[in-house]
């Protein structure tokens, strides 16, 4: 088999050279969030802007770090993961917003996803549907440790990734259209103890597992259960938790490299040093 040809998205349109992407990468949906990340690093440089993919690389607390927006949904997300992995990214953390499904969840709460229901459709082009979409254990533990250290309210469990923002999440669409198949989807997921949903996590988890990479996700609940309105009060918390988690992971990885240990886990409930 010959090597695949260079496609339109290869190296984000040829804008990125080998060595410009760090092993630790944040993959939010929005370009705005990439710029928010970059503003918090000690060093940051824009290295590509290709379609919906805005890419920055830099340094935080001496740790090389990158961020790449994925756009909305599985197809564009898979492009981001494929391209960033080919350029050297090894640990992916999605940071985004979500709608909570369980009673008692509040706007501003964080949801750390251990696994995802594969309703994204995109991942089915990579592997059969029976293959699970699961997070990396260390990344999840680092996100939990970061949320504990920062004192933020969070939930840990299974998410669902839909392939449609409106009809796929049981919403009534333009002119009142809705598909009866989706009338009970929210209630069914709630009964199954699914915590929330988005449109990217299952794709990221599936691809990273297939490629032998690490992945995790922290989302902020932005759908106010009392008003039904969008409230981004938790976005900054999710950003802070993801950055703290990378500091923790970098410390663990350095220790593993020095000692030959295979895996690191936090000693709960002791303090989590980064």
- Which domains, from first to last, does the chain contain? 11-165+198-258 (3.40.50.1580)
| Distance between first and last Cα of the chain | 45
d(CA 133, CA 124): 11
Q: Note whether 34 and 49 are within 8 A (CB).
A: no
pLDDT at 171: 80
What does the pLDDT profile of the chain (274 residues) look like in tens digits? 456 556 788 888 889 999 999 999 999 999 999 999 999 999 999 999 999 999 999 999 999 999 999 999 999 999 999 999 999 999 999 999 998 999 999 999 999 999 999 999 999 999 999 999 999 999 999 999 999 999 999 999 999 999 988 777 778 888 888 888 888 999 999 999 999 999 999 999 999 999 999 999 999 999 876 677 788 889 999 999 999 999 999 999 999 999 999 998 887 666 655 5
d(CA 82, CA 68): 12
Q: Half-sphere exposure of residue 230, counting CA atoms within 13 Å on the CB side?
A: 4
pLDDT at 232: 85
pLDDT at 167: 77
Q: Note whether 71 and 53 are within 8 A (CB).
A: yes
* Per-residue H/E/C for the chain: CCCCCCCCCCHHHHCCCCCCCCCEEECCCCHHHHHHHHHHCCEEEEEEEECCEEEEEEEECCEEEEEECCCCCHHHHHHHHHHHHHCCCCEEEEEEEEEECCCCCCCCCEEEEEEEEEECCHHHHCCCCCCCEECCHHHHHHHHHHHHHHCCCEEEEEEEEECCCCHHHCCCCHHHCCCHHHCCHHHHHHHCCCCEEECCHHHHHHHHHHHCCEEEEEEEECECCCCCCECCCCHHHHHHHHHHHHHHHHHHHHHHHHHCCCCCCCCCCCCCCC
Q: Note whether 113 and 46 are within 8 A (CB).
A: no
Does the global pTM surpass 0.85? yes
d(CA 271, CA 72): 36
Six-digit token string for 225: 């259960």
pLDDT at 1: 41
Six-digit token string for 102: 């369980």
Q: Note whether 160 and 118 are within 8 A (CB).
A: no
Residue 188: φ, ψ to 5°:
-65, -45
Maximum C-alpha span of the chain: 62
Place of tokens 């309210």: 153
Q: Note whether 143 and 216 are within 8 A (CB).
A: yes
Distances (CA, A) of 162 to 90, 255, 270: 25, 38, 37
């Amino acid at each position: 088999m010959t090597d695949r040809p260079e496609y339109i998205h290869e190296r984000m349109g040829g804008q990125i050279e080998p060595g410009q992407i760090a092993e630790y990468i944040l993959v939010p949906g929005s370009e705005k969030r990439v710029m928010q990340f970059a503003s918090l690093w000690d060093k940051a440089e824009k290295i590509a802007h290709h379609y919906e993919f805005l890419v920055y690389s830099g340094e935080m607390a001496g740790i090389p770090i990158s961020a790449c927006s994925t756009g909305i949904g599985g197809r564009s997300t898979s492009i981001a993961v494929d391209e960033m992995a080919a350029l050297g990214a090894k640990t992916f953390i999605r940071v985004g917003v979500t709608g909570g499904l369980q009673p008692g969840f509040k706007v501003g709460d964080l949801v750390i996803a251990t696994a995802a229901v594969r309703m994204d459709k995109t991942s089915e082009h990579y592997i059969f549907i029976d293959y699970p979409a699961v997070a990396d254990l260390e990344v999840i533990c680092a996100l939990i440790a970061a949320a504990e250290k920062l004192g933020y309210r969070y939930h840990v469990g299974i998410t669902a990734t839909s392939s449609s923002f409106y009809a796929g999440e049981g919403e009534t669409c333009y002119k009142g259209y809705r598909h009866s198949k989706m009338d009970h989807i929210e209630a069914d997921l709630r009964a199954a103890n699914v915590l929330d949903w988005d449109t990217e996590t299952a794709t990221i988890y599936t691809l990273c597992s297939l490629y032998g990479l690490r992945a995790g996700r922290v989302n902020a609940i932005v759908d106010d259960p009392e008003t039904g309105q969008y409230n981004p009060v938790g976005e900054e918390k999710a950003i802070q938790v993801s950055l703290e988690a990378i500091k923790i992971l970098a410390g663990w990885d350095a220790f593993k490299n020095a000692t030959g240990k295979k895996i690191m886990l936090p000693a709960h409930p002791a303090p989590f040093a980064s």
